[in-house]
Structure 1
Amino acid sequence: MEKFVRQTLLFDFYGELLTEHQQRIYEDVVCNDMSCSEVAAEQGVSRQGIHDLVKRCNRQLEEYEEKLHLVQKFLDIQNKVRLIREEALRASDEKRMPDVQGILRISDEILEEL
């Protein structure tokens, strides 16, 4: 998985466990693609301080994932729903089309909610 995607997923799932200050900085650097220098100037701290904070947050978010596995469970569920959708499409014939359409609709709703 691409590093940026993983970081944003970890932040989506565990970001609330960071302090408000950590959330702001991490969101600016990772999600809003601001440089450490830009955030440092905005916050009135050193670029190195921002860099260290982001690294600590990354480590902390990874530790939460190692313990709770919420991101992995989310990705597994997402993948399984896609597989259900693919199987329903393969199994569709005219007799089963109403059932298949129901399965596809439910699968799409689940994927949208995830």
Structure 2
Amino acid sequence: MRRFQRLFHILAGALALVSASCDRNEAKPVVYLEVDSLTLAPDPSRGTSSAHVRSVWVESEGTYLGVYPLPARIPLPVSDPNATVRLYPGVEVNGISSFQAQYEF
């Protein structure tokens, strides 16, 4: 029994030393962009707007930020307040919800 207490104290001390040396990174500030839906304005020469937009692809300053299902609440970094954010509609490939692609319009 005494061995277990001693082992417990050694492990607790080691854990305290390891956790005390961890870096404390500050969380970077973000703003949230809320997108309820996307509406397509079809060009008659390119087809109809019958595609059901299910997701939104997000890009900021050429950096891909992710794909979010609609409605979406998208976190955006605040590192550059004048950054250009581009949103692309996403549709299901062959009607399969687990396969999303950007809608080419």
Asked if TM exceeds 0.5, the reply is no
Greater strand share, 1 or 2?
Answer: 2
Taking structure 1 as the reference length, the TM-score comes to 0.29
Greater helix share, 1 or 2?
Answer: 1
Which structure has the bigger radius of gyration? 2
Taking structure 2 as the reference length, the TM-score comes to 0.31
